[in-house]
Amino acid sequence: MSKEINKAWEATIRKSSGTKKRASSIFSQMSVAHVDDDVSSEVCQVEKILPNGDFYTGQWMVKFPHGQGKYLWTDGCMYFGEWITGSTMGKGRFSWPSGATYEGEFKSGFMDGKGTYIGASGDTYKGSWVMNLKQGQGTESYPNGDFYDGEWKKGLQNGQGRYQWKNGNQYIGQWKNGVFSGNGTMMWNNGNRYDGAWEEGLPKGNGTFRWSDGSFYVGVWSQDPEEQSGTYYPSESSSESPTDWDPQNLYTVELSDCHICPCEKVAIYPSQKTLSGCGGDDDNRPLFKKRTDGSGRPRWSSEDGRISSCSCNDENGGFDVGRKSGFSGMEARSISTRTSFTRLRIKNPKRQGETISKGHKNYELMLNLQLGIRHSVGRPAPTPSLDLKSSAFDPKEKVWTRFPPEGSKHTPPHPSSEFRWKDYCPVVFRALRKLFKVDPADYMISICGNDALRELSSPGKSGSFFYLTNDDRYMIKTMKKAEVKVFLRMLPAYYKHVRSFENTLVTKFYGLHCVKLTGTSQKKVRFVIMGNLFCSQYAIHRRFDLKGSTFGRTTDKPESEIEPTTTLKDLDLNFIFRLQKSWFQEFCRQVDRDCDFLEQERIMDYSMLVGLHFKETTSAGTVAPTRISLASAEDGRPGLSGVDTDNLSVDPSRWIQLGINMPARAEMTVRKSTSETPQLVGEPTGECYDIIIFFGIIDILQDYDISKKLEHAYKSFQYDPTSISAVDPRQYSKRFRDFIFRVFVDDT
């Protein structure tokens, strides 16, 4: 390290030492407990220049910051506050080179708890945080003079809140995802006001606009003039009432300058900052050497000769490579025991499916499908309302379109043979895509863009074929006529259910269509478009299809033959999944709601699809577990806040919601083979893995028809009736819930 850099560091140290007294008034004194009786677990004071130029000064234990300390990254970011075994935990202050600062509570490396963020442009947020995001009650002062006071969720205004503009206008009411949504009141500085319903930031539904003179307009509001209706009531005390006022003025004039100021985006979150590790041979030199002062007492100093006040042995030059400040700390708590564990081997996931290129037997079918989707989604239509008429769900509500090769008035020319295209209940599925926040353009690009679809290697048990879009966002499944009938029958109840429960775990459906080939075959191919549960930036290392039955519920594959794309079954399951308390409670509530819905619709044979991403996978493809008894000790550390955690984020590009990108722990289990009946859920071993988990309820279109009743009767003669899949929906629902609530448990 050059002399200039050393001088810069020394200047930093002198400044930091001068602020210690002042800092003690901000951060309360913290007692550090010993994790064991070993001398290496003692807490000491150190000053470290890390191999990449980062700098740490403060309390240290084993190989981690532990206690009070300051960490300065070479990019200019700095954290000063409390640490627990390498994780920012407690009260602290994080600053960015831009001048932005956060001062408040940290948990497991995240801004979590009460805290204040002051942005580089001057905006200030004071309030609650959960995993780096504004969540709960808080206030935001914007650089332009606007102000918000109310509830937040996943970084956006959500719930009840008040927004006041610099000019005196203000909105008081409900919010959703950062815009006005629900019932609310807008008050202008000239005395006018609107009271009523809002949707996506604009008046929509029943509402009243009042003028300052007492006149008012009552009606149903919409940006579409054709949907607008109402009655004007002039003021008795004023002759200047605006009798010729156009209701559309509310959108074009009154609301024209009522824009919500965007919040400043955080460039990089504290939990994303890594702590420097040791690299090559030069980096492995001791950062501190043992020396003797004038009195003969041992002292520790760095290679450049600066003295540290460390009073205990420190043989670790830095952190594990790539370790983040927000890691769980299990590495530190299990140093003495981890080496005795066996490591789980993980193979690298391979891209699923075969690309349908020219010459593939289903190439023309894919072209037909893409042409049909482009026509259905791109066809001009009014903006769908989520309040649908019952006629929209009529099974006869379908649209046939002819696609000749030369093209027609409504269809483009294409290289495929002539075919006919059918859209089932198009208004309903357009509303579903809006409800699920699917952008029409993105939807078309995913399915109908330049990239071909991929066909999965083998059809499912039902004989259906599956296709994946190139970006993995959507899955297309061929359907039997009986399944289509079941789906159309339950569509009204399905729509009501998914609209009522935002966190539903049942499959999200985006479209139901049919391709009819012309010619002698007259073949019809029906298919449904669904969301792909495993579309994520995280690699899926294990996947399970769980029903709660035992007959035929195993793949009988040894561990060495299990691929990441292999779908394992109930008797292959060797884990239980530990969810954080708030998520577990919401999980139980939602499983009950979803199972009640499926039971009422006489649906059975559904399953819980589960995908696991192991977080601590090495380059060699191994994952080491930790003992749950050690992990649960936590050195007194608190868990992440449980404030409305159905939608959170580990970082901005990986949103968390129930069943999607959820951090959890998988505990290994072992089955006892003492009885003839196989044990459905094994005994926990205490060995846990940090995971990101995905789960959802799939295959929800099988009703308990005559064929399933006959299957149940036939198999009941040969096997235990409780072990087979085909059972009455009420019995199936109870068995499914009992099983799932043994596999998913509260991480206490």
- pLDDT per residue over 296-313, tens digit each? 443 433 333 333 333 333
Q: Which residues pair with 110 in a beta bridge?
A: 107
DSSP 171-216: EEEEEETTEEEEEEEEE-TTS-EEEEEEETTEEEEEEEEE-TTS-E
What is the CATH topology of the domain spanning 44-235? Answer: 2.20.110
All structural domains of the chain with their residue ranges: 44-235, 355-532, 536-616+656-747
637 close to 329: Cβ distance less than 8 angstroms: yes
d(CA 86, CA 66): 6
Tokens of 298: 């041992």
DSSP 253-282: IITTT-PPPPPPPPSS-GGGPBPPB--STG
> What pLDDT is attached to residue 318?
33
> What pLDDT is attached to residue 457?
67
List, for residues 703-747, the tens digit of each pLDDT value.
Answer: 765 555 555 444 544 455 555 555 788 889 999 999 999 999 998
Higher pLDDT, 676 or 107: 107
Percent above pLDDT 70 for the chain: 74
> Half-sphere exposure (CA, 13 Å, Cβ side) for 563?
6
List, for residues 713-723, the tens digit of each pLDDT value.
Answer: 445 444 555 55
Of 166-170, 233-237, 451-455, 484-488, minimum mean pLDDT range = 233-237
pTM: 0.57
d(CA 289, CA 314): 9
Determine the average pLDDT of the residues in 395-399. 81
Of 4-8, 184-188, 214-218, 290-294, minimum mean pLDDT range = 290-294
Of 108-117, 193-202, 305-314, minimum mean pLDDT range = 305-314
Tokens of 130: 């959960």
Of 37-51, 661-675, 726-740, minimum mean pLDDT range = 37-51
Higher pLDDT, 4 or 388: 388
CB atoms near residue 676 (< 10 Å): 5
Residue 493 CB-density burial (10 A; 0-12 exposed, 13-18 middle, 19+ buried)? middle
Of 6-15, 67-76, 123-132, 499-508, minimum mean pLDDT range = 6-15
> What pLDDT is attached to residue 228?
80
- CATH 3.40.50.300 for the 355-532 domain, yes or no: no
> What pLDDT is attached to residue 546?
93
Determine the average pLDDT of the residues in 609-635. 66
Nearest to 695 by CA among 507, 477, 472, 451: 507
Q: Which residues contact 150 (CB under 8 A, 6 or more apart)?
A: 137, 138, 157, 159, 160, 161, 162, 163, 175
Q: Which pLDDT band, with edges at 50, 70 and 90, does 21 fall under?
A: very low
Cα–Cα distances in Å, from 194 out to 55, 173, 178, 385? 56, 11, 19, 22
Q: By three-state DSSP, how is residue 552 classified?
A: coil
Cα–Cα distances in Å, from 352 out to 349, 449, 455, 535? 9, 19, 8, 12
Percent above pLDDT 90 for the chain: 22
> What pLDDT is attached to residue 201?
84
What is the CATH topology of the domain spanning 536-616+656-747? Answer: 3.30.810
